[in-house]
């Protein structure tokens, strides 16, 4: 890996090493040595498989030391992904680490637990009772979104074929604040993307009224985001549904909604139980979420549900016979670990509705603390969960007293500050926080407001009130240091790249899908379908 165009670090290291015979060194090593990792690991190739392996302890220590260079997950405030589980949960995960969820015949208990999770989520998201809600676990929200989009595309194509109309030019509508997985779906499965530009006045999210002009007879559906990765705002699912009802009455266009609840699917039900966004909204046909975000499970788990099995097109369902029984699969991958699913059920049983509600309430409280502290100093806060609906209610712990959203704090340097200190670049704050251990991304707002730079903190369960206060101290200390030193600007400019560092991003958008694509599969013990119980 080159340090610059004219310097090859690996070549320099190779030339700097002493010439020695490693086999002789290993043969002559001291028998009394308690640890010889340098000898055991010396010469192990980095990019090709070694012809002869090294001892187990040496392999472990080599990787243990190298991964120590990673950031501290506790202080990674860029990510929505959960980073801590109780010891009992970790014990369950280890006990089930070698189980493949797809093998329904071999692991029937894991299958039953999977289907109970689907049933609990259907109830949480207010699926009709009695009803035939159906769903599956996935590797994460990226796969879940693609399944939701594919189901809408297949239903649209079937309707167009039945009407004798063109079915080769589908499009999908969503805001430019969408996470990259939504764009991946459109690009990978040949669906035209129709991005609705956002406005700062609307919280950098899609305005349902603006979305209408992008809809036509080729629109397979609208994807509404319950919790923008930029600012945490909720897009208005109910308003979008009402507008689509009106559009149907005027034009006959019957447009469904898929809700991207990657983060909000495990926030809204607990923080705002009476808020209408899920299957009790008429045009919502499918919802996805990440178990590994505010579902409080380690990375590698997502969920997607359909309000009714009729919305999961038959072309997406495959029948299998070669694992010992008849099984049905409707996911993009095949094999997937059972352990994250069992860990999700552990949380459901251990926390219950009340436990989840307490955690989300605490997260929102700490996010308000950070928001108010920043807004009282040198920053403008762009997220909304600290703004009371009624000023007299300010100070209460009830999330419903404030505007709705994720426990996310998005902020930027205020206009007054930038006018007074034009030499200070906002991206420097990100870089200087990193020296204190904090990982806080600085990135540009989405299409329509892309000139705005945003710093963002995701307040997860592990960001306690004490750590929140420490973060406030560190941010203010950094800003004060920048204000005090005119000469620091030239130094920082020489060390910070010209474009803002954007963790978890792809194609200019915060990316929540960089946590591996565990192979996945869904199904119930005999029919393979996971229905609401």
Taking the alpha carbons at both ends of the chain, their separation in whole angstroms is: 54
Q: What is the pLDDT of residue 23?
A: 56
Q: What is the pLDDT of residue 528?
A: 36
- Strands 257-260 and 219-225, by their bridges, are parallel
Quickly count: other Cβ atoms within 10 Å of residue 23's Cβ: 9
Do the Cβ atoms of 133 and 279 come closer than 8 Å? yes
Q: What is the pLDDT of residue 39?
A: 76
- Strands 134-138 and 302-306, by their bridges, are antiparallel
pLDDT tens for the chain, residues 1 to 533:
445 567 888 887 778 876 656 555 555 554 545 556 677 877 788 899 999 999 998 899 899 999 999 999 999 999 999 999 999 999 999 999 999 988 877 888 999 999 999 999 999 999 998 889 999 999 999 999 999 999 999 999 999 999 999 999 999 999 999 999 999 999 999 999 999 999 999 999 999 999 999 999 999 999 999 999 999 999 999 999 999 999 999 999 999 999 999 999 999 999 999 999 999 999 999 999 999 999 999 999 999 999 999 999 888 888 765 555 666 778 888 889 999 999 999 999 999 999 999 999 999 999 999 999 999 999 999 999 999 999 988 989 999 999 999 999 999 999 999 999 999 999 999 999 999 999 999 999 999 999 999 999 999 999 999 999 999 999 999 999 999 986 555 555 555 554 444 434 333 344 433 333 333 333 333 333 333 33
Can you tell me the distance from the alpha carbon of 465 to that of 370, in angstroms, rounded to the nearest whole number?
9
Can you tell me the distance from the alpha carbon of 506 to that of 344, in angstroms, rounded to the nearest whole number?
28
Q: What is the pLDDT of residue 42?
A: 77
Peptide bond just before 252 cis, omega within 30 deg? no
Q: What is the pLDDT of residue 485?
A: 80
492, with CB counted inside 10 A (0-12, 13-18, 19+), is: middle
Q: What is the pLDDT of residue 504?
A: 41
Reference 439, options 80, 79, 77, 84; nearest CA is 77
Q: What is the pLDDT of residue 114?
A: 96
Do the Cβ atoms of 357 and 271 come closer than 8 Å? yes
Radius of gyration of the chain (CA): 26
Q: What is the pLDDT of residue 21?
A: 60
Q: Where are any strands of DSSP class E within 171-325?
A: 171-175, 192-196, 219-225, 257-260, 284-290, 302-306, 318-320
Compute the Cα dihedral for 44, 48, 54, 58 and give only its sign: positive
pTM of the predicted protein model: 0.88
Can you tell me the distance from the alpha carbon of 358 to that of 503, in angstroms, rounded to the nearest whole number?
29
């Amino acid at each position: 890996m080159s340090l610059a165009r004219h310097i090859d670090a690996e070549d320099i290291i190779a030339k700097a090493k002493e010439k020695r015979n490693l086999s002789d060194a290993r043969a002559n090593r001291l028998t009394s040595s308690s640890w010889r990792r340098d000898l055991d690991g010396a010469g192990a190739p980095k990019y090709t498989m070694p012809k002869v392996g090294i001892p187990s302890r040496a392999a472990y220590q080599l990787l243990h030391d190298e991964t120590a260079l990673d950031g501290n997950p506790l202080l990674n405030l860029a990510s929505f992904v959960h980073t801590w589980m109780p010891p009992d949960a970790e014990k369950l995960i280890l006990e089930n680490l070698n189980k493949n969820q797809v093998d329904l015949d071999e692991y029937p208990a894991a299958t039953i637990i999977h289907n109970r999770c689907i049933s609990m989520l259907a109830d949480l998201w207010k699926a009709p009772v009695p009803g035939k809600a159906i769903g599956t676990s996935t590797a994460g929200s990226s796969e879940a979104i693609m399944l939701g989009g594919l189901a809408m595309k297949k239903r649209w194509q079937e309707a167009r074929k039945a009407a004798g109309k063109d079915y080769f030019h589908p499009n999908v509508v969503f805001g430019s604040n969408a996470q990259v997985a939504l764009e991946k779906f459109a690009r990978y499965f040949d669906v035209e993307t129709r991005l609705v530009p956002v406005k700062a006045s609307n919280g950098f999210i899609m305005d349902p009224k603006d979305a209408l002009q992008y809809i036509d007879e080729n629109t397979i559906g609208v994807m509404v985001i319950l919790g923008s990765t930029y600012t945490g705002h909720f897009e208005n699912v109910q308003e979008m549904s009402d507008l689509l009802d009106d559009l149907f009455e005027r034009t006959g266009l019957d447009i469904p909604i898929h809700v991207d609840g990657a983060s909000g699917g495990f926030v809204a039900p607990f923080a705002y139980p009476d808020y209408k966004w899920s299957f009790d909204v008429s045009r919502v046909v499918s919802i996805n979420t990440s178990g590994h975000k505010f579902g409080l499970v380690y990375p590698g788990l997502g969920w997607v549900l359909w309000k009714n099995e009729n919305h999961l097109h038959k072309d997406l369902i495959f029948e299998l016979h070669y694992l010992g029984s008849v099984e049905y699969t409707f996911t993009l991958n095949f094999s997937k670990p059972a352990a994250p699913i069992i860990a999700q059920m552990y949380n459901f049983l251990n926390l219950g509705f009340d436990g989840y509600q307490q955690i989300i309430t605490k997260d929102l409280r700490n996010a308000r603390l950070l928001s108010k502290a920043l807004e009282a100093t040198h920053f403008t806060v762009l997220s909304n969960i600290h703004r009371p609906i009624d000023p007299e209610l300010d100070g209460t712990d009830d999330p419903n007293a404030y505007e709705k959203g994720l426990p996310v704090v998005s902020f930027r340097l205020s206009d007054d500050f930038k006018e007074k200190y034009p030499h200070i670049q906002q991206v420097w704050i990100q870089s200087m926080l990193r020296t204190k251990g904090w990982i806080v991304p600085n990135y540009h707002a989405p299409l329509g407001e892309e000139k705005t730079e945003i710093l963002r903190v995701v307040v997860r369960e592990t960001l306690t009130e004490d750590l929140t206060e420490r973060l406030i101290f560190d941010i203010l200390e950094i800003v004060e240091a920048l204000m005090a030193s005119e000469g620091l600007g030239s130094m920082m400019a020489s060390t910070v790249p010209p474009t803002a560092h954007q963790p978890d991003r792809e194609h200019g958008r915060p990316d929540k899908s960089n946590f591996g694509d565990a192979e996945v599969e869904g199904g119930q013990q005999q029919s393979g379908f996971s229905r609401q119980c």
